[in-house]
Amino acid sequence: MYRKTEIIKNEELSIVPIQEKQFYEDVREILLQARELAYKNASSIMTQAYWHVGERIVEQELLGKERSKYGSYLIKNLSKELSDEFGTGFSVANLKNCRQFYLTFPQDSYGYRMMKKVPWSHLRNIMRISDEDERNFYLDEVANENWSVRELERNIKSGYYKRMLSTQLPNTENKKLEFVKDPFVLEFMGVKQNDGHFESDIEKAIITNLQKFLLEMGKGFSFVGRQMRICTETTDFYIDLVFYNYILKCFVLIDLKNTKLTHQDIGQMDMYVRMFDDLKRTEDDNPTIGIIFCTDKDETMVKYSVLHENQQIFASKYMIVLPTVEELKRELERNQLIYNKD
């Protein structure tokens, strides 16, 4: 009898600590969630406060609009007053940000409505974009994709919005175009502009920087393999890079070229896509997409080849340095010219 009681007690002692550990974890999780929610709410409240500070600065500036340099004088004195009472965080630069924030996102704007979803650190970058459609695009991407500040800065600098816009065909509902940029910017690979690099060098650089490459590719991409073999009865073929997009629910094949796009490149990718659909695609997958990465492409070839109206094959220029605004503008105009020609 004594032994039986002792065994029961020992069993209870061994169970209780496990139950208590879970209990502690549950309480801890409740508090962590509450802290995170409180932080988000506090951040949102401060963002709204910055907007109202900007509003008040603009109102006060209007009162002294006839006085020379009144705005600069006003912000400098306000910074001194606030810093004395509230400490750091109210520098002249930050107060100018508040002013621009109010002027960029008036109360009836989309940016004002997104204020609770986009952190102040991101808004400071977005509000410097002059085009409203582009600003709204980045507001949505930050809110939906949880971009870090660094990701946002890089995408703005590399013209992410303009590169997506350059692929949009008029009068089409092809959702795949939302996932194909032109050009792709691969400045993170460490390959110099004038190097006589081989396609294998580009492939190796992409694999080495795979996480950054996936961010450049966009939403929903996961890596499947490199030099993937597809076999017919008589021949083996090797595809440079294969990805899967879980949003489009399809495979994405990438063929790397270190030269200008040729007709042979287009024919080869067309064959790869057809073979992959026949040999690898399952019933649950949508038709495979093929993207040819090339250093340049000819308008006539794009217009009079399978690329022009094909819903599955695309050719994108890649750049290994960050493009300038003028370069992106020229690419956008050139691609629009290609697609608008009859």
Q: Which residue has the tokens 């949505």?
A: 140
Report residue 124 as tokens. Answer: 């400071």
Q: What is the model's pLDDT at position 62?
A: 82
Give the model confidence (pLDDT) of 30-70 as tens digits. Answer: 777 877 777 777 788 888 888 998 998 888 888 766 665 66
Question: Over 50: is that where the pLDDT of 1 sits?
Answer: no
CA-only gyration radius of the chain, Å? 28
Among 73-82, 173-182, 273-282, which is the least confidently predicted range? 173-182
What's the Cα-to-Cα distance from 263 to each of 148, 268, 278, 293, 307, rounded to whole Å? 40, 9, 23, 14, 10
Q: What is the model's pLDDT at position 77?
A: 85
Q: What is the model's pLDDT at position 171?
A: 47
Question: Over 70: is that where the pLDDT of 141 sits?
Answer: yes
Alpha helices in the chain (DSSP H): 2-63, 70-86, 92-104, 110-113, 120-126, 132-145, 149-157, 160-165, 199-208, 210-217, 263-279, 299-303, 325-340
Q: Which pairs from 124-133 meet CB under 8 Å and 24+ separation? A: 124/97, 125/149, 125/152, 125/153, 125/156, 126/152, 126/156, 127/97, 127/100, 127/101, 128/100, 129/156
What average pLDDT does range 121-126 have in this prediction? 95
Domain boundaries, the chain: 43-157, 160-340
Average pLDDT, the chain: 81
Q: What is the model's pLDDT at position 143?
A: 92
Residue 183: asked if its preceding bond is cis (omega within 30°), the reply is yes
In degrees and rounded to multiples of 5, residue 53 shows phi and psi of: -60, -45
Q: What is the model's pLDDT at position 168?
A: 56
Beta-carbon contacts of 54 under 8 Å, excluding residues fewer than 6 positions away, are 98, 99, 100, 101, 102, 103
Q: 166 pLDDT band (50/70/90 cuts)?
A: low
What average pLDDT does range 165-181 have in this prediction? 60
Among 22-26, 117-121, 194-198, 277-281, which is the least confidently predicted range? 194-198
Overall pTM surpassing 0.95 (yes/no): no
What average pLDDT does range 138-162 have in this prediction? 90
The class that CATH gives domain 43-157 is mainly alpha
Q: What is the Cα–Cα distance from 161 to 130, expressed in whole angstroms?
A: 13
User: What's the topology of domain 160-340?
Assistant: Trna Endonuclease; Chain: A, domain 1 (3.40.1350)
Give the model confidence (pLDDT) of 237-266 as tens digits. Answer: 999 999 999 988 999 999 998 888 888 898
The C-alpha torsion from 18 through 20 and 23 to 27, rounded to 10°, is: -130
What average pLDDT does range 322-338 have in this prediction? 68
The answer to whether the 43-157 and 160-340 domains have the same CATH topology is no
Q: 156 pLDDT band (50/70/90 cuts)?
A: very high
Q: What is the model's pLDDT at position 340?
A: 54
Could you tell me if 283 and 322 are in contact, meaning their C-beta atoms sit under 8 angstroms apart? no
